[in-house]
Amino acid sequence: MRGVFAALFLCAVAQPCLAQTFLKSEPYYLAPFAVVYVDNGVCGVGKVLKVKGALGGIRRQKTCVPMGRVEASRTTATP
């Protein structure tokens, strides 16, 4: 019975991690070490800007990463 509950718990926790939302613009406030994906056209076709929040006066880390097949086929970003 514990195995069933453990499996249900893992499914509930894993589902939000699999869904990635793409923003149209970079948020003004971003919690430290939080990661958001911004699809504003800066990185080119098939890529999205990955922004990672930072502490205090440290700058945010910004890198271009490839999108998955499903996301790359979309023509517009989700808010």
What is the span of the domain harbouring residue 78?
A: 21-79
- Residue 10 placed within a domain: no
Q: What is the pLDDT of residues 12-23, one digit of tens each?
A: 544 444 456 788
Element (H, E) at 37: strand 35-38
In degrees rounded to 5, what are phi and psi of residue 24? Answer: -85, -25
- Residue 52 placed within a domain: yes
Q: For the sheet containing 22-23, what is the strand order?
A: 22-23, 35-38, 47-52, 61-66
CA angle in degrees (0–180, nearest 5) for 74-35-57: 135
- Residue 70 placed within a domain: yes
- Residue 53 placed within a domain: yes
Please list the residues that pair with 36 across neighbouring strands.
51
- Residue 61 placed within a domain: yes
Q: What is the pLDDT of residues 22-36, one digit of tens each?
A: 889 998 998 999 999
* Cα distance from N-terminal residue to C-terminal residue, the chain: 41
Q: How many structural domains are present in the chain?
A: 1
If you ran DSSP here, which 8-state letter would residue 43 be given? S
pTM, rounded to two decimals: 0.62
